Structures are given as C-alpha cells and as structure tokens.
A and B are shown apart, each in its own frame.
Chain A
Amino acid sequence: MRFILSRLLSGVAVIFVVSFITFIILMMIPGDPALLSLGTEATPENVEALRDAMGFNEPWYVQFLEWFTSFISGDLGRSYLYGEEISTLILQRVPVTVSVALLSLLIATPIALFIGVIAALYQNKLPDVLARTLMQIGDAMPSFWLALLLLVYVAAGSSLFPISGFTPISEGFIDSILSILLPSFVLSLGLMGTMIRIVRSSMLIALKEDYMLLAKMNGISKFKTIVKYPLRSAIIAPLTIIGMQMAGLLSGVILVENIFSLPGLGRLLLVAVQQRDLFLLQGIVVVIVSTVVIINMITDILYRLANPTMRIGGRDE
C-alpha cells in the first residue's frame, strides 16, 4: 500500500515536471499569441485587451500555475487554429491513436512470445540466429521507411487496404481493422525487437533453474515441464516492459499516422507544430506524456502486486 501511494505521488510529480518542461520550451516561441489569434489587422488596443484576458501580462510562473490547474480540471483552452476547445479536438482524435497503438501491441506480443520462446529453446541454433537477426532488423528499421514501402508495394497493389484514412468501428469492424492494419504492423515490428529480447532472456534464465533438473530427475517430460514453469515467466515478461516501451511506441504512432493520413493525435500534433498553435501543441504534448507516465505507473503497480518477491525490501532508487 505504501508503495502504491509513493508511486502515485511520484507519478503526479513527473506529470508536473513534464508540464513545466513543456511550458518553458514553448515559452521560447517567438511571436505574440494574442496577435496571432486576432490576425494582423487587429488594433493595438484589442491585442492588449486579449493579452490581458489570456493572462499573458502575468508573470510566467502565475501563467504556468493557472494553466496547470485548469489542465488538471480538464480545461486546455481554445485552439486559435481551429477555434474549438482543445480538449474536444484531442478527444476526437484519441480513438484513432489508441486503436493503432493497441492493435500493434496485439500483433507484437504473441509473435514476440512465440519467437522468443523458440529462440531460447534452440539457443545458438538456427532458430535463435534467425530470431536475433529479426531483433536487429526491428531495431534498425526506420518505421517511416517501412510504412512507405508497405504503402507503395502492398497497399497500392491491392484493393484490400485503403491507402490513407481511417474507417471508424461504427462503419464496420473489418474495414476499421483493415484501415489501421498496415500502420499497426509497422509499429509492431519496432516493438518486437525489445520484446523478443526480454522473452528470450527470461526463458533462458528459467530454463537454467534447479526445478528443471528436478523435474528431469523425476522423469517428467521436458515439454510438460516447460509449459508448466518457464513458459509462465516468459509470458509475464513482455508485460513488464510495455510501460517502458510506451514512449517509443507513441513516437512511432506520431510518424506513422502522418504517413497513412490517419486523423489521430500525431497528425494533429504536426499541424500544431507547422502552424505554431502554441496552446494546442502544449495540450497534446502534455496529454500524450501524461498517458505515458500513467501507463508506466499502472504497469509498475500491477507488476509489484503480481510478483510478491518484489515487495520485499524494494527500495525505489
């Protein structure tokens, strides 16, 4: 219980730090947001009035605290580019981003489990060498390049996959999955490298445990023993690193959404950067990073709960 509480507190602290870092970086943007949102024909009095209303005449730390408290209550302000509430804009796009990220996890995890287990069982033999080659390629493959290749050589050649755009689930489950299958596949390859590595190594450690020898002495078949013991630890292994992989996964989503023209957060983010919509950018960044922090926190806590040995004497630093 104490662990959960301290983990929650440090999670909140990290979100605060993240908002602060974002705020400071975006403060460096040249130009006057009030002038930007009113256009060049605004009178100086109007600009000054809006600056006042937007709180830009306050000292920076007051601005930050005001922004942070309204962020906590779910109010991210208004986008000058779209003229809409930023929280609405973000909520509209979350389903796309979440589906792509989820589907890529669903693709990557079983494949990584399978390859990792096989690689460990045949250590240093052909399947292992092939698995390690795949890991290296997964790590080195630029996701946006793979996405381009798939677009050119798979999507363009077949009528199965749309070249761009997203079909919501309400317009048919299969069509919806097909519209995000290629982007998710691209991301899953990036995830697989690390996942295979961790499955393989946890399996290798488990295979060397004493209980393997004991089971062998008792005449239990190797297959039975493996299914009963090492396989279990191998299955939990990817779960422990999903939190850590979140940041990398979302980096990939940002890129891939832009290539496949999926109307998700990544696409909105690029528009916000290109058009220098400060508040929108700030809102998306803090939402994305907070998600990463929260998922990290949850997997940490779950892992601690699932694994009693971790509870004993676990110092945080």
Chain B
Amino acid sequence: MNKKNVLFIIGIILLLIPVVLGLTSFFYTPHPPNTMNVANRMQYPSMEHLLGTDQFGRDILSRIMVSSRYALFIGITSVFFGSIMGVMLGALGAISKGILRGLIMRMIDGLMAFPGVLLAMMFVAALGEGIWNTILAISIFMVPVFARLSYSLVLEQQDKLYIKAAKTYGVKPLRMIYKHYLPAITPRIVTQFSASIGGAILTESSLSFLGLGVQPPNASWGLMLNEAQQYMLTFPYLTVPSGVILMMTVLGFNLVGDQLNDLLVRRKGRN
C-alpha cells in the first residue's frame, strides 16, 4: 500500500510542475517569451537564463512556461469533449438493438482502427492548423476508447435489478442513460479520463512537432522541438529541456491515472 502511495505522490508532483508553471506564466515569466535577442542566442543555462536561450535568443524557461498552458488546456479539453461524445455513443450502442447497434459499433471499430496521428492529420488537412482544430482532432481520436468502455459498462449494468425496475416503469432511453447508467459508470469513466490526458498531450505535441498543431508565435513543447530539430547539429542542447518537461508531464498523468484506477476500480472489484 505504501509503495502505491509513493507512486501516486510522484505522479501528482510531476503533473503539478506544468500546472504551476502554466498558471504562473499568466502573470510572471522571467523574460518575455517571444522577445528575440539575437546577440544572446543559443546559450547554455546561466543565472540570467535558467534553462538557456534558443535560436532567436528567446528565454527557454519562459517559453516552456507558456507552452504548459497550451499542453494542459488542449490535453484536458480534448479528453473532456472526447469522453462526452464517447460515453454517449457507447451508452446509446448498448441500449439500442439490431441495425442501430451494429452501425454504432462498426463506427467505433472504424475510428479505433485509425492511427491517432493519422486521424488528427486528416482533420488538420480539412480544417487547417490551429488550437481548436487540434482539440477537435484529438477529441475524435479519444471517442472510441470511451465509447467501448461505456458500452461494456452499460451492458454490465443492464442485468441489475434497479435497471429492470426502472424499465418496468417505462423510463425513456435518454433519461435512462442520464439518470441511471451515468451515475453508475462514472468512477470508471473518471479513471479513464485521467489516464487519457497523458496520451492527449503526447498527440498534441506530436502534431505541433509536425507543424500541424499549435502555430508560431504561440509556443508548444512539440513546436519547440520542431524548431530545435533545425539546429540540432549546431546546438544539440535545444532538444533537451522541452522534451524533458513533456515526458515528465505525460509520466505524471499516467502514474496518477494508474493509481486512481487501482484505487477506484480494482478495490471495488475485490469486494
């Protein structure tokens, strides 16, 4: 039990780092994140620039702070929208019958077969680059995971007595989902939610890295790594800081998701 707590605390600490950095960036950054200073370009860490400067002489720490906002915002919002769409779709599939159910399930299978980055790239091609299109793309990518989960959870509930009772009272399907199924499946959805944020942040940074996500002059960890790639042979250090913070953040969300899963789901299963 103690070991579990340690992992949970490590996870919390790891994900608090970008949260604190991002929130702080709204009223304070060590240097203006977009101000270029060519005389100071490509410097290693110093007291003046704690994480050094990039190819335009911009302060890396300040840019990482601002990027945290986008990573967290895009990560959380896209999982939020994706989970709502997915849960509704899965629940609808579970309570419907025949052709409608087949249609919904094949659609989920179809979405599941898309490599995440591919789906996102298609959306960007159709709608153009930008933060909201990135969010839309990632949330669609999140739909099948939540849909499958809620589908199986709702099926599991269907045999329970209270559901049968509600049915005999003639409760309408949508009200049934909202009033009876949703409260019962929420804990599992919550753990899946927290476990998915890490993946969403990874997808955002991958897209931005390909130049299809967050656009300059806005900052994103993936975008910073993209810019670093052009200078990787002359100044390899540029590839390090934004990658480290990206990995720490994803690791933090994954650890917290895992531990929440142990806490809420497995313990319940044991009883």
Contact = CB atoms under 8 A, between A and B. Distances in A.
Contacts of A57: none
A247 B198 CA distance: 18
Interface string B108-149: 011111111110011111110000000000000000000000
In the complex, the 6 A-B pairs of residues with the closest C-beta atoms, listed nearest first? A17-B110, A251-B115, A140-B251, A145-B243, A251-B117, A140-B250
Contact of B206 (A139, A142, A269): A142
Contacts of A285: 118, 122
A245 to B, nearest CB: 11
Interface of A: 10, 13-14, 17-18, 20-22, 25-26, 28-29, 136-137, 139-145, 148-149, 151-153, 156, 247-251, 254-255, 258-259, 269-270, 272-274, 276, 281, 285, 288-289, 292-293, 296, 317
B60 interface: no
26 contacts: A13-B106, A17-B106, A18-B113, A28-B126, A136-B251, A136-B254, A139-B198, A140-B198, A142-B202, A143-B206, A144-B205, A144-B206, A145-B239, A148-B232, A151-B232, A247-B112, A247-B114, A248-B116, A250-B115, A251-B206, A254-B118, A254-B121, A255-B209, A258-B210, A269-B118, A296-B113
Given A14-B106, A142-B202, A136 B255 contact: yes
Contacts of A281: 122, 125
Given A148-B243, A247-B114, A285-B118, 7 more contacts: A142-B202, A248-B116, A270-B121, A281-B122, A285-B122, A289-B113, A317-B105
A248 B115 contact: yes
B236 interface: yes
B39 interface: no
A293 B112 CA distance: 9
What is the predominant secondary structure among interface residues of chain B facing chain A? Answer: helix
Given A153-B236, A276-B125, A140 B210 contact: no
Contact of A22 (B122, B209, B254): B122
A148 B225 CA distance: 8
Contacts of B250: 139-140, 142
Contact of B247 (A142, A250, A296): A142
Interface residues of B, number: 43
B268 to A, nearest CB: 19
A191 to B, nearest CB: 13
Contacts of A293: 113
B247 A145 contact: yes
B229 interface: yes
Given A254-B118, A273-B212, A152 B127 contact: no
B246 interface: yes
A270 B210 contact: yes
Given A152-B236, A254-B118, A273-B212, A29 B125 contact: yes
Contacts of A276: 125
Given A17-B110, A28-B127, A270-B210, A255 B117 contact: yes
Interface in B198-212: 198, 202, 205-206, 209-212
B125 A273 contact: yes
Interface of B: 105-107, 109-118, 121-127, 198, 202, 205-206, 209-212, 222, 225, 228-229, 232-233, 236, 239, 243, 246-247, 250-251, 254-255
Contacts of B229: 148, 259
B247 A251 contact: no
Nearest to B249: A140
B118 A250 contact: yes
A273 B243 contact: no
Contacts of A269: 118, 121
A242 B124 CA distance: 28
A308 B205 CA distance: 44
A152 B236 CA distance: 6
Contact of A10 (B109, B222, B232): B109
Nearest to B233: A156
Contacts of A273: 121-122, 124-125, 212
Contacts of B202: 142
A29 B127 CA distance: 6
A247 B206 contact: no
A22 B113 CA distance: 12
A289 B114 contact: yes
Nearest to B137: A25
A255 B123 CA distance: 16
Greatest chain A CB density within 10 A among B106, B126, B206, B247 is at: B126
B116 A25 contact: no
A146 to B, nearest CB: 8
A259 B239 CA distance: 13
Contact of A26 (B113, B125, B228, B232): B125
Contacts of B116: 247-248, 251
